Structure 1
Amino acid sequence: MDLTGKKILVFGVLTETSMGYKIAESASEQGADIILANAPGTASNIMKRISSRLPNKPVDCLSADITKPDDLAALALSIGAHWDSLDGVVHAVAFAPQDALGGNFLKTPFDSVAKAMEVSAFSLKGLVASLLPLLEKAPRASVVSLTFNAQVAWPVYDWMGPTKAALESINRYLAKELGPRGIRVNAVDSGPITTMAGKSIPGFDKLATLWPERAPLGWDTSDAKPVADVVAFLLSDSSRAITGQVIHVDGGFTAVGA
């Protein structure tokens, strides 16, 4: 696997334990040139502080509200000022209001569901569409998002479950639309990793204990590198014939019933 010379945007870098950071780290180790992006404000400021810890200095650190078309258009212009094409996009973005999580499924108001869907699922389409002119100029562009097994219902995950199901469906539709343009679109279903996002879900720690117990290969909830390395593979030309897929990186948890 080699990403030398690949130009990749990673959207959703926060702390050093975040999936976005670990993906940027893995891609950088493989030789990619990286631009980081996150929401304006505190998230962007943290991202800029930790960006210097990556193996290679990012080309830039940008901010954009991923739900606002004007912000995404400005993001595309900023990337275009550095690069005339874009080889890869990583969508590591997820958010749900607290009343959409933690066992509140029947009481969650639509406004909260809509916000979770907008930020965590629909934003994938918005981000990709805004960057399409740059992606089309790359010989083999790749888009990768992050999901959590949406084939079953989970305790405490509540409306993030339907949101991830929507993300996986959008992943397939984007693959259908963009395949003829030479752009691959895939998602990675990660086993639970202890990140700030995971900690924001009430009861997440209890849910996460299932993986080390049941995954045939075992599972370390503190180690995001196996997931990040698979994302790097999907960004590489080694995955040039893979699109529209959800790749499970969970120690084999989804392969067993009990």
Structure 2
Amino acid sequence: MDKPLSGKNALVFGIANKWSIAWAIAKAWHEAGANLIIGYQGERLKKSVEDLLSELSGENPPLAYPCDVTDEDQIIQFFSKTREHFPKIHILLHSIAFAPKEALEKNFYETSRQDFLKTFEISVYSLLALAREAKALFSDGGSILTLSYYGSEKVISNYKIMGPAKAALESAVRYLAYELGKDGIRVNALSPGPINTLAARGITGFTKFLKECASKSPLGKNTEASDVASAALFLAKDESRAITGQTIYIDCGYSIMGF
């Protein structure tokens, strides 16, 4: 069986449960031969993540360590533990986003300062924080990936504060791609269509929107997590060496449609 990522070391942030896009990507990278270390958000998710990782077989079972991206000390400790196992890394997935429930229920203009700052800290600044610590471990260059959404450039009525946050995230991708390019590090965002994850179900009217996207997309269907994993696998491989600073849509064509 072909193992295009054999010998590659990957860090994955953002696995919460079996529906997570990050989990689909982690599985694809593992099956392609990558060695994985997972960063999970606190003790609450520890057992869930460990149970999922137990499903992955192979000579090098994935490792998992806590990494609260709002805590600089935990980020530093995570990368200290990473260095104990990996002398260098080749791939990093940032699949982290959060907005307080209140911010998703109010009008956007009613967003509080506290909720705005918390959303941007976790959903955007965390990419910078992880990239900064990871930079020294990308001694042979490599690929950093994050996840965005179409609400970054068009208004999705119930997406609220997350739209501006994803817009900022995509801008951060471009600036990181520019600054890290001299070190051979590529930075890209994947922008999937709506996927039936646990987090997405928290958005009002999501089920209706899911059906609408399927009916209007050129391919007449919704995106699956496995579709995103396939794109993430390509961007982790050397064949994607000339792609950086991009937001790549994986939405069955929905984003190209006008009225």
TM-score per shorter chain, which class?
over 0.9
> What does 1:201-216 correspond to in 2, within 5 Å?
201-216=203-218
Render the CA deviation track for 1:195-214: whole Å, top value 9, x for unaligned.
11111222222222221111
Pairwise CA distance, 1:55: 4.9
**C-alpha separation in 1, matches of 2:201 and 2:61:** 27
**C-alpha separation in 2, matches of 1:134 and 1:170:** 20
Match in the other structure for 1:142: 143
Task: Give the conservation status (yes or no) of the 8 Å contact 1:103–1:155.
Answer: no
The number of equivalent residue pairs is 255
**C-alpha separation in 1, matches of 2:101 and 2:6:** 41
Match in the other structure for 2:245: 244
Secondary structure (helix, strand or coil) at the match of 1:231 reads helix
TM-score, structure 1 length as denominator? Answer: 0.95
> What does 1:177-216 correspond to in 2, within 5 Å?
177-216=179-218
**C-alpha separation in 2, matches of 1:160 and 1:228:** 22
Match in the other structure for 2:30: 28
Equivalent of 1:130, from 133, 153, 168? 133
**C-alpha separation in 1, matches of 2:22 and 2:85:** 21
% of aligned pairs identical? 36
> What does 1:80-229 correspond to in 2, within 5 Å?
80-102=83-105, 104-135=107-138, 137=139, 139-149=140-150, 150-220=152-222, 223-229=224-230
Pairwise CA distance, 1:113: 1.1
Unaligned runs of 5+ in 1: none
**C-alpha separation in 1, matches of 2:191 and 2:180:** 21
Pairwise CA distance, 1:131: 1.4
**C-alpha separation in 1, matches of 2:79 and 2:119:** 24
Render the CA deviation track for 1:195-252: whole Å, top value 9, x for unaligned.
111112222222222211111113335x210011101111111110100000100001
Amino acid in the other structure paired with 2:229: A
TM-score, structure 2 length as denominator? Answer: 0.94
**C-alpha separation in 2, matches of 1:84 and 1:116:** 33
Pairwise CA distance, 1:103: 5.0
Task: Give the conservation status (yes or no) of the 8 Å contact 2:219–2:252.
Answer: yes
Unaligned runs of 5+ in 2: none
Structure 1 residues 58 and 167: alpha-carbon distance in aligned structure 2, compared to 1, 3 A threshold = farther
Pairwise CA distance, 1:63: 0.7
Mean Cα deviation higher: 58-67 or 174-183: 58-67
**C-alpha separation in 2, matches of 1:85 and 1:238:** 20
